[in-house]
Copies of this chain bind each other. A is one copy, B any other.
Amino acid sequence: MEQDKLLRLLNDVRNGGVSPQDALLKLKMEPFEDLGYAKVDHHRSLRHGIPEVIYGAGKTAEQISGIIDAMRAHGNNNVLVTRVTPEKAEELGKFISVEYDAVSRIAIYGRKFEAKTKGYIGVVAAGTSDIPVAEEAAVTAEALGNRVERLFDVGVAGLHRLLSRLDVLMSAKVVIAVAGMEGALATVVGGLVSCPVIAVPTSVGYGANFSGLSALLSMLNSCAGNVSVVNIDNGFGAGYLASLINHIGEAEA
């Protein structure tokens, strides 16, 4: 697409519709708007086919609100803000009306995309402490228009809890496996399903978990071939990536 656009622009230059100088300027200026504290990229949602996403950690409520305003001015009416603490969510509410989910720590501006996919994303979490990360993945995926099925507290030390829900797992189009400690869930799930599995190590645990290193290494070394891994506690990335996969084939249907 970027290429199509370049070709079109070059055609316009040839036709005299656009001067070379303007073309150069256009190439440089168009894609984003500079708010000083952030460059808002108004093309990204079009290019990637999704609502805009703001990583909320390390930004003030006022900055977040300002970025949403800029997006809104360009017609983006769906914005996801991740890593928002309850305190920041409250403060953010003074500037702009958002829907806040305390477990996943996600604030949503505008309406979530409706879940219109036939396929669904399975989100599996090992322990109760892993739920915030799992919910970050699940809420992200839902906001991006996906059907999501949750299976929480199904750690592999009590295998029957997982096996009793095998049917849900095995019909998913893609599975997100969230686990801290020894992170074995990803491998067991990877062996049970035949779809792609996105593993999210969490920092849950203590001592020799070294803040998530144990689960991370465990998942990277999974002997199941359909497992790939994202950063420790990166629920958003897993939800985003799962959405990309879940939407394949849907548009054409």
Contacts and interface: CB of A to CB of B under 8 A. Distances in A.
Interface stretch (A70-78, A90-98, A108-116, A209-217): A209-217
Contacts of A166: 2-3
Contacts of A217: 182, 208-210, 213-214, 217-218
A58 B128 contact: yes
Contacts of A53: 225
A192 interface: yes
A176 to B, nearest CB: 11
B191 A156 contact: yes
A155 to B, nearest CB: 5
Interface of A: 1-3, 6-7, 10-11, 13-14, 16, 19-21, 23-24, 27-29, 31-32, 34, 37-39, 41, 44, 47-49, 53, 57-59, 63, 126-129, 131, 152-161, 164-167, 170, 173, 181-184, 186-188, 190-192, 194-196, 198, 201, 203-234, 236-238, 240-241, 244-245, 248-250, 252-253
